[in-house]
Structures are given as structure tokens and as C-alpha cells.
Amino acid sequence: MEKFHGDKLHKPLILLLILVLFLSYQLPSSAYTLPDKYFINCGSNININVTNRTFVGDLNSDSVSFTKQNSSVTDNRKASETPSIYQTARIFRQQSSYEFEITTNGTYLVRLHFFNSTDLSAAVFNVSASGFLLLHNFRVQNSSSSILKKEFILSIPIGKFLIYFVPRGSSFAFVNAIEVFPAPPDFISDEAAQISQTGNSNAYKGILSRALQTIHRINVGGPTLTPENDTLLRTWLPDDSYLYHPDTARNSQVYSGRPNYLDPVNEFIAPDLVYKTAKELNENASRLTNNFNITWSYDVTRNARHFIRVHFCDIVSPAQNTLRFFLYINGNFSKEINPYETVAQLATPFFIDFVVDSDDSGFMNISIGPDSGSTEQTAFLNGVEIMEMMGESNVVPLSNKSNQKSVFVIVGSVLGGLVLVCIFGGLLFIGLRRRKPKPVQSSDWSPLTAYKGSTHSNRKMPQLSKLSTEGTNNASPVPNLNLGLKIPFIEIQLATNNFDKKLQIGKGGFGNVYRGTLRNGMKVAVKRSEPGSGQGLPEFQTEIMVLSKIRHRHLVSLIGYCDEGFEMILVYEFMEKGTLRDHLYNSKQPCLSWNQRLEICNGAARGLHYLHKGASGGIIHRDVKSTNILLDENLVAKVADFGLSRSGPPDQTHVSTVVKGTFGYLDPEYFRTQQLTEKSDVYSFGVVLLEVLCARPAINPTLPREQVNLAEWGMVCKKKGLLEQIVDPSIKVQINPNSLRKFAEVAEKCLQEDAADRPTMADVAWDLEYALQLQQTAVVREPHEDSTSNASGMLSFPVLQRFPSTSAEFERDDMLTVREDDSDSVPSASEVFSQLKINNAR
Ligand SMILES: *[C@@H]1O[C@H](CO)[C@@H](O)[C@H](O)[C@H]1NC(C)=O
Ligand SMILES: *[C@@H]1O[C@H](CO)[C@@H](O)[C@H](O)[C@H]1NC(C)=O
Ligand SMILES: *[C@@H]1O[C@H](CO)[C@@H](O)[C@H](O)[C@H]1NC(C)=O
Ligand SMILES: *[C@@H]1O[C@H](CO)[C@@H](O)[C@H](O)[C@H]1NC(C)=O
Ligand SMILES: *[C@@H]1O[C@H](CO)[C@@H](O)[C@H](O)[C@H]1NC(C)=O
Ligand SMILES: *[C@@H]1O[C@H](CO)[C@@H](O)[C@H](O)[C@H]1NC(C)=O
Ligand SMILES: *[C@@H]1O[C@H](CO)[C@@H](O)[C@H](O)[C@H]1NC(C)=O
Ligand SMILES: *[C@@H]1O[C@H](CO)[C@@H](O)[C@H](O)[C@H]1NC(C)=O
Ligand SMILES: *[C@@H]1O[C@H](CO)[C@@H](O)[C@H](O)[C@H]1NC(C)=O
Ligand SMILES: *[C@@H]1O[C@H](CO)[C@@H](O)[C@H](O)[C@H]1NC(C)=O
Ligand SMILES: *[C@@H]1O[C@H](CO)[C@@H](O)[C@H](O)[C@H]1NC(C)=O
Ligand SMILES: *[C@@H]1O[C@H](CO)[C@@H](O)[C@H](O)[C@H]1NC(C)=O
């Protein structure tokens, strides 16, 4: 609270702040609270409180029904040390079911409790639900403990949810207690990397259409956690008994603070106690061998598909960015874990999901090991969850009387699966897939169609007000876009001192940009739209959609958004050093060295390459320019402003659309044909390269006519061999001729008239890397110019605190932006030109 000295705060605001601090202990997940339905005490008319939940006797409950015929009750009350809910059970002598009324679609946790008592140990039965065989030939007597809890994660549609109990032969089925309650939003996403036996990985889709059974839930480096210790009443066990070589690992020091939860992770993903403990490499073992791994070997179902979630939280490193390490699954697959690629702070939890098929050994190995390229030579792990994916092959064809019902259930779920697939097929058109660890649900997407007709560049007031009058949290112009990223308006007021003018760092067509600090201490840039501004709802939605699904070192990260009432606010990571343009011309910033410029261009090229070809694939930025390349405190380049970006299906080479972008950077071919391809971004990037080389704007109307357009002028000079003459005078002496030649060559290739002649962003990044090497091998290397590190060791610049964006700082001619109604009719080039002229005249 010390950030708010109260000088300008009004009393009501302070009250509101206090209220918010009081009410929402944690910000992103405040919408979800552990539900109180359904917790059932089977075979009883007694309600029993267990860990804050009341298990209602099934005889008392109105909302739950079960097959009464041939069911009976057992009562073991004599075993007084037995917990109360296990003292009664319901017994079924023939196929029977419990029926639950489900009122919201979504992912549910389903837990079945069984107690191994002498009179029940003869039971052998199957359990199935939603068309999945959850347990088969199940007997409690095989278990190693007297209480058995079986947990499943299932997508359940609205309607009746039935759990079937099918005894084998003359045996019987029983159950002591049942829990069925919705998981938090985005608890499990539909997609994860699938690891093959040979270690290859590719995207696996459709997790949500399977049933998951929890096999292991491990609090690595920590104690047993009981339902009392967990946010979703889960049980977590210690990892020690799974260690292959116990000597290789030691428990990390327990973290004393609260983990720094950042979306999409919250304490429902795993409780604090999981993230506050970890196992790390035991240095003592390194005396025996100087390089080693920690391996855990988990028993799993043979030859079955498994969902694996590994939890990390860096409570080990002394400082940020000092630790990278490898995660191995089953020996053949390795992945470098860089805790700062996805989260920018210490002690910030994150998780990664995988889909892995087990072999017939019945074991699955998870290892962590050091990365020789990392400063700190260690590795850590905080938690592991392994779930078996119950496949469709397990669907039980139930026989006899309940047959029809069960067939209906199975068909229903198959159809449900198809609907999901169709929605997902539609998504592919949008082409946004997400990168771990950002959960996404197909429900994130479906609302988009509802807005198909509203892709107008002005805000849709009628629609907004219609939604707002509903007066609920759903009154949002971006329904369900990514609820996990939603930030309450009050939080943003708090972060920006109620949009304090003093914190304003930019102004543009979209509105104002403010510097802010979230309650967790994170510095952010807050972009708030003004009503009637140029940037509208579609851009707002696109930005959230694109940025919430991807994370990359060279793409600016979206922290969250707010769409309450008429507000359209985007919250980004704060980029300390502002835009690339501010470091090139028309500003008082110290001049960037040639090396730094090459590093920055290379970084931006990598970011764009990731957009084009990375995990999320097929995204075209459409507005690449020097004000959309931002620099963090270490001068690491990050591409920003995705409001205009567009995606196409991966197999399609172009997308026909209306010309958008910024004058001076526009691909002439795209202009002519309106065929948008990734090569349009390559062209714009070529203009940026020239800007970097010459330190002048893309368009400068004050210059002689032939020099106004930098791309044209640069190409003329290049062809005449006179490029040296237009190089920024302040770097002329340091620039190595070979490096310059290579760089000019890249720029020229990018600026080819014919898109087919332009290189891909990968080629561009590669060539820039080469230009950097040419520079560095030529120049006597100074320690701070090591290209293998990022620019962090470089000359320190006075901190420029700005967050300009596309639309911020519209004052110059070169910032003219073409924005149009994105209607279906494609305007002719002349229409586009007239639009340009209108904007020009503004
Ligand atoms: C169980 O909890 C409910 C509220 O959570 C409370 O009203 C009730 O008295 C409790 N019952 C017992 C037996 O403690
Ligand atoms: C089930 O109940 C019916 C009568 O309700 C009885 O005739 C039958 O024997 C019972 N079946 C079993 C397996 O107990
Ligand atoms: C339980 O044990 C019996 C024999 O003791 C065996 O046939 C059955 O497969 C076991 N079931 C499970 C689920 O392990
Ligand atoms: C489960 O019950 C059977 C039969 O009563 C018994 O043999 C077995 O030891 C029990 N298992 C546990 C873990 O109590
Ligand atoms: C239980 O499931 C197994 C595996 O699908 C099946 O073979 C068996 O017939 C089922 N038992 C009953 C009683 O339905
Ligand atoms: C790793 O892949 C090779 C083939 O590339 C295969 O022969 C081997 O069995 C795999 N190892 C494991 C543990 O799956
Ligand atoms: C149970 O309630 C207590 C007090 O209200 C709270 O501190 C604790 O976190 C709750 N536990 C769970 C598992 O919800
Ligand atoms: C888990 O909860 C129990 C009961 O509230 C408590 O005694 C125990 O200390 C907790 N465990 C941890 C690791 O905090
Ligand atoms: C590591 O070795 C030191 C000195 O031999 C010993 O004090 C310490 O307990 C060892 N740590 C572990 C985790 O084995
Ligand atoms: C697991 O690791 C151990 C030790 O490295 C190895 O012997 C075993 O074959 C591995 N199993 C699998 C399935 O990779
Ligand atoms: C660590 O494990 C991985 C995967 O099994 C293996 O490739 C690597 O060589 C191991 N490192 C050491 C030092 O054993
Ligand atoms: C729930 O899902 C079903 C299909 O699985 C769909 O038809 C229905 O509209 C959904 N309901 C809501 C409220 O989302």
C-alpha cells in the first residue's frame, strides 16, 4: 500500500480498495470458490462435515437420486476409529446408478470413496460414467490402504450425470461417499504436447473429451498434503519413495513467502504448499559424478495413455535468469525449462502438461538434470500429477434394462465430442493454438461467432449497453475470451492510482497508456481505451486472443484485460526502455551501438518467426514497425501490438482481407492484391531494418521527393552502391563493412516487390545472426559485447519509462495508420487509397 500515499486518493476509493483487498485475497481466481455440491454420504441419512464440506446423507438429498431397488446399506459403526463417512456404504446387487443434476457445462472432479472392511472385501464391480469405464473388476481388498479414493476428471454437459455401478456375477458393488463438483475454469486445457516413445513431440488435442483418472499426485520435496491442506480437497503424497537414486536429490529450503501466482496459474492449480517446497540436485552427489540427473520412476498403467502435469516454482535460484535446466520424460524426450521464458519473477508457479503413452514396463520416468549453458548448475521440481486417460475403447456397452439409458449417455457424449471437434475445427480457421502453460478451453472460442457481425472498427455501443444492462459479470463485450486473464477494474484503478495523470506514459488513437504496479509488485503498462477512439472492439479482442495464447521471449506478454462496463483495458508487461524508434531518432535517448541494433533486430525477427511458424503458428502481425518493437530493461526486443494481427489456416498460404497496417511499412504486393501473407510482415520488417540502419522515419515528407519513402530511397541507394552514404552517422565508424553488406542484403531481400522473392523470418533471423558474427569477429571484442548473452551487460541507459504502442504518439506523418471497416466486401485499391488520403489529411 505504500505505493499509494493517499495524496490524491478520495475516501470512497480508499474504502473500495480496502474492501477489495479484504474480499479478494487472490485476484484472478476470485471468481471460483470451492462449491458445496455434490458431497454425498452414501447409505446414510446423516450429514457429516468433513474438511469444511458437508457430506449429505443420500437418503436426505433432494438433488441426488439413486437406484433404490436391490440396494442396501451397511453400517460399521462399531469401528469407532473409522472416519464417519466410511462407516456407512450403499450396496448394489445389480446394475444401478447415482444420478446428479448438472447445471453448468464444464470440467468436473468426481471422487469415489471406498473403505476396505471385512464385510465388503468380496465386492468386485465396474464403475462407469459419461461413457467411460472408470473402474473395472475393482476390488478394495487389493489396495494397500484401508481407505481408497478414486478421482476422475470429466467434462460433463448440462443435464443428468449418472454414475453406474455394475457388480460382477453374484458379487456386489458398493460406495461409501461421492464427490462431484466443477473444477475451476481452465483447470485442464484441451491441448498438450504429446511425447512419442522416440521423444518427438506434437500437439495433442482432445484431452477434455477423455476421462482422466488420477494415478499419482506428488508434492515433490514436501510432506503429505491432506484435503484440509488443499484448495480442491486433493491429497498430495511425498516423492521420496519414487526416487530412483535417492542420493541425487535433496529437499530445497522451504519458501517462506507466498508464491507469486500469475495468470493462468492460481492456488487451485496447486496449493501454496506444493509450490513452497521442491527437490533439487544434491551437490554432494556431484562429487561422485560431475554431471547427473534426478529420476523418479512412477508406476503407471501399462500401455495406456497418460496425462502428466509437472509443477515448477523457482524457490531455488538466488536471482532471476540464472537457472535453466532440462526435463526428461522416459529418457528420450527432453525439454529445456527456462523459468523466465514464461514468468518474469522468482517464486512464480507455472506448470507444463504432456500426454505420454506408457510402454509395457509399467513405469514412467521423469527426470531433471542440469543444463551446461546455465549459470546455476542445478534443477528443481515442485510437483507431479499423473493421470490415466480413459479412452473411448473403454466405453462399456451396458446390458439389460438400463441399457437404453446408458446407450443414450454414450451417444450423448460422442455427439458432445463431435461438437467440440467442430468448434475446434472452426478455431483452426482462426489459427490460434496455444503454447503451454496457457490453458485454453474450446469454450474460450465459441463466443467469437456471436461477434462475427460486429467486427466494426468503432465500438458497438448498442451491443455493449445491451449486455451491460444484464448487470452480471457476463456483461462483457468479450465474453469468455480468456476469463483467467480478466482483471477487475478496481485492481487496475489500484495499480494506476486511479489513472493518475502523472503515471501516463503515452497517448494515442486507442486512448491513454499508464504505468502501473499490480498488488503483487509486478510493473505493468495499462492501455485504456477512450470511447470513440480509433481502436475498437475487434482490435481489443484480437489482441487478447493472440496474446493470451502465446508466450515468447521476443513477444510482449499480456498480463490481463478488463472489459467491465464500457471499459476496454489491456494490461501488459512493462517495457522499461520504450520503443525501438525512440532509440533511433527524434529523441534524446543515447544512441544504440551497431551491435545492440543487430541484437534487437535479431530478437524482433525471432519473435515474428515465432508468430509465423511457432507453436501457435500462422499468425500474421500486419503492423510491424519500429514503434511496435519494444525494449525491456536489458534492451531485449519484444514485438508488441497485435490488434491488427490475423491468422490463417496453416495449410493456406494467404488470407484475403482488407488492407490494414501503417503507411510507409505496407507491402506493395499486399496493397495491390489484398492477399495477406507472412511475407507482408517480412516486407515491413525490411523497412524497420532500414530505419535501424539509417536512423530516420519510414516516411519523411520534409525530404526531397525521391527520399520521402525510406524503402524506395534505400533500395535506390543500395542499387547504386551508395548505401554507406545514408547510414546513421553516429554508427558509421563502428560498423564493419562485411556486417553492413550482409545487413543491407537482408534488408534488400525483405523489400523485394514480389513476395515470393522475400526470405522467411527464419532466414532473416539467421542472416542477422550472421551479420552480428561478422561484426563481432571483426571488432576487438569488448566483454560487454558478447553476443551469446543477451544485451543485459550493455551500457546502462537512463531509464525511459514509456509504453508507446501502435497508436500511441500519432503525431508524426509516418504514423498514419490505415484502419477500416473489416466488412466482407473487399474494397478496391482505389478505395483504400482514398481512405489513406482521408487519414493523411487529418
Ligand atoms: C456442518 O457445517 C455447517 C455449515 O458449514 C454447520 O451449519 C453445521 O452445524 C455443521 N455440522 C456439524 C455436525 O458440525
Ligand atoms: C432384487 O430385488 C428383487 C425384488 O425387488 C428380488 O426378487 C431379487 O432377488 C433381487 N436381486 C438380488 C440379486 O438381490
Ligand atoms: C486384484 O487381485 C485379484 C487377485 O487377487 C486379481 O485377479 C485382480 O486383477 C486384481 N485387481 C486389480 C485391479 O489389481
Ligand atoms: C482389505 O480387506 C481384506 C479382507 O478383509 C484384508 O485381507 C486386507 O488386508 C485389507 N487391506 C487393508 C489395507 O486393510
Ligand atoms: C467390467 O469391465 C470389463 C472390461 O470392459 C468387462 O470385460 C466386464 O464384462 C465388465 N463387467 C461387468 C459385470 O459388466
Ligand atoms: C528411444 O528411441 C529409440 C529410437 O529412436 C528407441 O529404440 C528406444 O526404445 C527409445 N527409448 C525409450 C526409453 O523409449
Ligand atoms: C476451511 O475453513 C477454514 C476456516 O474457514 C479455512 O481457513 C480453510 O482454508 C478451509 N479449508 C478448506 C480446505 O477449504
Ligand atoms: C495440513 O492441515 C492439517 C490440519 O489442518 C495441519 O495440521 C497440517 O499442519 C497441515 N499441513 C501442512 C504441511 O501445513
Ligand atoms: C552434503 O555433505 C555435507 C558435508 O559432507 C553434509 O554436511 C550434508 O549433510 C550433505 N548433504 C546432503 C543433502 O547429503
Ligand atoms: C527409468 O529409468 C531407469 C534408470 O535410469 C531405467 O533403468 C529404466 O529403464 C527407465 N525406464 C523407462 C521406462 O524409461
Ligand atoms: C540425464 O538424462 C537424460 C535422459 O535420460 C540423458 O540423455 C542424459 O545423458 C542424462 N545425463 C546424465 C549426466 O546422466
Ligand atoms: C453445454 O454443452 C452442450 C454440448 O456439449 C451444448 O449443446 C450446450 O449449449 C452447452 N450449454 C451451455 C450453457 O454452454
| Of the listed ranges 177-186, 233-242, 360-369, 472-481, the one predicted with least confidence | 472-481
Say if 39-182 and 585-841 have the same CATH topology. no
What value does the mean pLDDT take over residues 569-581? 89
CB 643 within 8 A of CB 702: no
- Confirm whether 623 is a catalytic residue: yes
Characterize the bridge pairing of strands 159-167 and 96-102. Answer: antiparallel
In the numeric block, the cell 522499461 is attached to: 576
Q: How confident is the model at residue 84 (pLDDT cuts 50, 70, 90)?
A: confident
331: Cβ below 6 Å to ligand 10?
A: yes
- Distance between CA 76 and CA 266 in Å, rounded? 40
Q: Would you say 706 and 684 are in contact if contact means Cβ atoms under 8 Å apart?
A: no
Residue 797 DSSP label: P
| pLDDT of 531 above 90 | no
The pLDDT assigned to 350 comes to: 92
Query: What cell does 202 get?
Result: 506434437
| Mean pLDDT to the nearest integer, 809-815 | 27
Tell how strand 177-182 and strand 106-115 pair up.
antiparallel
Grade residue 395 by pLDDT with cuts at 50, 70 and 90: very low
Q: Per residue in 151-191, pLDDT tens?
A: 999 999 888 889 999 988 888 889 999 999 999 988 999 99
pLDDT of residue 647: 59
Q: Which of the two residues, 619 and 153, has the higher pLDDT score? A: 153
Q: Whose CA is nearest to atom 8 of ligand 1?
A: 49
60 close to ligand 7 (CB < 6 Angstrom): no
Instruction: Look up residue 168 and give its three cell numbers.
Output: 460382477
In the chain, the amino acid numbered 516 is G
Tell which wins on pLDDT, 261 or 484: 261
Give the whole-angstrom CA distance, residue 203 versus residue 355: 9
> Cβ-count burial of 287 within 10 angstroms (0-12 exposed, 13-18 middle, 19+ buried)?
exposed
Q: Domain 191-390: give its CATH architecture.
A: Sandwich (2.60)
What residue ranges do the domains of the chain occupy?
Answer: 39-182, 191-390, 477-573, 585-841
C-alpha cell of residue 81: 476409529
Residue 560 in this model has a pLDDT that exceeds 50: yes
Please give the Cα distance from 32 to 301 (Å, whole number).
33
Distance (Å) from CA 123 to ligand 4 centroid: 12
The alpha carbon dihedral of 550, 551, 553, 559 has a sign of: positive
Tell the residue nearest (CA) to atom 13 of ligand 2.
93
Model's pTM, two decimal places? 0.55
Q: Indicate whether residue 226 lines ligand 7 (CB < 6 A).
A: no
How remote is the CA of residue 105 from the centroid of ligand 12, in Å?
6
Given the C-alpha cell 456397452, which residue does it identify? Answer: 397
Please check whether residue 544 is in contact with residue 481, taking contact to mean a CB–CB distance below 8 angstroms: yes
How is residue 531 written as a grid cell?
470511447
Q: Does the pLDDT at position 284 exceed 90?
A: no
At 141, phi and psi to the nearest 5? -65, -15
Per-residue model confidence (pLDDT) at position 269: 94
Domain 585-841: give its CATH code: 1.10.510.10
Question: Which residue is closest in CA terms to ligand 2's atom 8?
Answer: 70
At residue 660, the pLDDT reads 64
The DSSP 8-state label assigned to residue 27 in this structure reads: S
- Tell me what the mean pLDDT of segment 471-497 comes to: 62
Place of cell 553516429: 730
Read off the C-alpha cell for 727: 547510414
Q: What residues pair up with 517 in beta bridges, in sequence order? A: 523
Q: Would you give the distance in Å from CA 472 to the centre of its chain? A: 26
From 623, 632, 641, 767, the catalytic residue: 623
Region of 589 (left: φ > 0; alpha: ψ -120 to 50; beta: rest) is beta
Q: What is the pLDDT of residue 138?
A: 92
pLDDT in tens, 750-801: 999 999 999 999 999 989 999 998 888 765 444 443 333 333 333 222 222 2
* pLDDT number for residue 833: 29
Distance CA 442, CA 639 (A): 27
Selection from 112-126, 200-214, 277-291 with the highest mean pLDDT: 200-214
pLDDT at 508: 61
Residue with the larger pLDDT of the pair 602 and 522: 602
pLDDT over threshold 70, residue 120: yes
DSSP secondary structure code for residue 686 in this structure: H
Under 8 Å between Cβ of 734 and 779: yes
Mean pLDDT over 517-524 rounds to 85
Q: Which of 162-171, 291-300, 550-559 has the lowest mean pLDDT?
A: 550-559
The percentage of the chain sitting over the pLDDT mark of 90, rounded to a whole number, equals: 31
pLDDT over 90 (residue 815): no
80, burial (CB in 10 Å: exposed 0-12, middle 13-18, buried 19+):
exposed
Distance of CA 628 to the CA centre of its chain: 22
Check whether domain 477-573 has CATH 3.40.50.2000, yes or no: no
In 3-state terms, what secondary structure has residue 677? coil
State yes or no: pLDDT of 376 exceeds 60.
Answer: yes
Amino acid symbol at 676: L
CA distance 677 to 619: 9
Q: DSSP class of residue 184?
A: P
Verify cis geometry, omega within 30 degrees of 0, for the bond prior to 451.
Answer: no
User: Looking at 428-583, which runs of residues are DSSP E strands?
Assistant: 504-508, 511-517, 523-529, 558-562, 569-573
Give the pLDDT mean for 376-387: 93
Read off the pLDDT of residues 424-433 as tens digits, 9 standing for 90 and up: 222 222 222 2
- CATH architecture assigned to 39-182: Sandwich (2.60)
Average pLDDT over residues 701-705: 84
Q: For ligand 9, atom 6, which residue shows the shortest CA distance? A: 284
pLDDT at 25 over 70: no
Residue from 105, 420, 446 to probe ligand 12 pocket by mutation (most atoms less than 8 Å from CB): 105
Task: Please state the separation of Cα 817 from the chain's center in Å.
Answer: 30
Sign of the torsion angle spanned by Cα atoms 181, 184, 190, 193: negative
Place of cell 471385512: 118
CB–CB of 162/177 below 8 Å?
A: no
Q: What angle do CA 47, 49, 54 make, to 5 degrees?
A: 65
Pull the grid cell for residue 170: 453374484
Straight-line distance from the first to the last Cα atom of the chain, in angstroms, rounded to the nearest whole number: 44
Local confidence band at 616 (pLDDT 50, 70, 90 cut-offs)? low
| Residue ranges lining ligand 8, Cβ < 6 Å | 223, 226, 228-229, 273
pLDDT score for 808 = 27
Sign of CA dihedral 21, 569, 641, 658: positive
Give the pLDDT mean for 539-558.
79
Question: C-alpha cell of 695?
Answer: 536512423
Q: Which residue has the higher pLDDT, 833 or 332?
A: 332
Which of 188-197, 296-305, 597-606, 810-819 bottoms out in mean pLDDT, i.e. has the lowest? 810-819
pLDDT digits (tens, 9 = 90+) for 437-462: 222 222 222 222 222 222 232 322 22
Burial of 131 (0-12, 13-18, 19+ CB in 10 A): buried
- Asked if residue 732 belongs to a known ligand binding site, the reply is no
